[in-house]
Amino acid sequence: MSSSYPLPTHANPSPQNQPVKRHHSARYYAHRVRESLATRVSKLVCSIFLFFLFLIGVITFILWLSLRPHRPRFHIHEFSIPAIAQGNGFENAQIDFNVTARNPNRAIGIFYDAMHISVTYDDQGIGATSLLYPFYQGPKNTTVLAGSLSGATLTVTNQRWQQFLADRSQGRVIFKLDVTSTIRFKISSWDSKHHTLHANCPVGVGPDGTILPEYKDKRCPVYFS
């Protein structure tokens, strides 16, 4: 009996399955090097540009914080109508006031046009006058605005005076003193555009016609229009 055994065969890999070794030319490698250098240079340039852009932004923000104009600050220190204590002196009534305007800026001056002072009661005007000539207020400076309203600048009718006395019997008479002026800010040799400033100072007087303690030295709201 004859038997046959399969002879061991060695599987030879097909030429198609063998990895193909590619040989690149020197020109190819030179191109790759140039491409890599160009990418690195581009990234470096972008990084430098972004750094300087960030630096300029930080400097601009710091300058803005240090130079941005702050609104003037107004405080009412004195306000009185002595005739209220007399009860029947409306024909000789007079309002005396003392208000301060403070420039809180460190490096910014303020130019004021002539100021206009008005006093209202129950949203009705009872007196007005112009105060000061145009003036310049330096940084960290305070200007006193003091004056009186009487005669032609104060119009109080008998009916209005009776309302004052009715409020006096309740312990206080509430008025509002308004300061209006056109201003512009000055930074070195640069002047800003004009702004119309309004300071509204609510103030109350007691039965003796003088300012009540809770209103004395009170800061007035300020806005622009």
Residue 114's pLDDT is 85
Q: Which amino acid is at 86?
A: Q
pLDDT in tens, 130-180: 988 899 999 999 999 999 999 889 998 889 999 999 999 999 999 999 999
Q: Where are the domains of the chain?
A: 23-68, 73-224
Comparing 50 with 220, the larger pLDDT belongs to: 220
145 with 179: CB under 8 angstroms? yes
99 with 77: CB under 8 angstroms? yes
Q: What is the pTM of this model?
A: 0.71
Share of the chain above pLDDT 90, in %: 55
> Reading across the β-sheet that carries 218-220, which strands appear in turn?
141-150, 94-103, 73-80, 218-220
Does 192 score more than 80 pLDDT?
Answer: yes
Residue 57's pLDDT is 78
Could you tell me the fold of the domain covering 73-224? Immunoglobulin-like (2.60.40)
Q: What are phi and psi of 157, to 5 degrees?
A: -85, 165
User: Quick one: DSSP state of residue 7?
Assistant: P
pLDDT in tens, 61-118: 666 655 678 999 999 999 999 999 887 767 788 999 999 999 999 889 999 998 999 9
Share of the chain above pLDDT 70, in %: 79
* Residues 177-207: b if buried by 16+ CB within 10 A, e if exposed: bbbbbebebbeeeeeeeeeebbbebebbbbb
**Distances 194 to 112, 113, 155 between C-alpha atoms, Å:** 10, 10, 31
107 vs 221: CA distance, rounded Å? 23
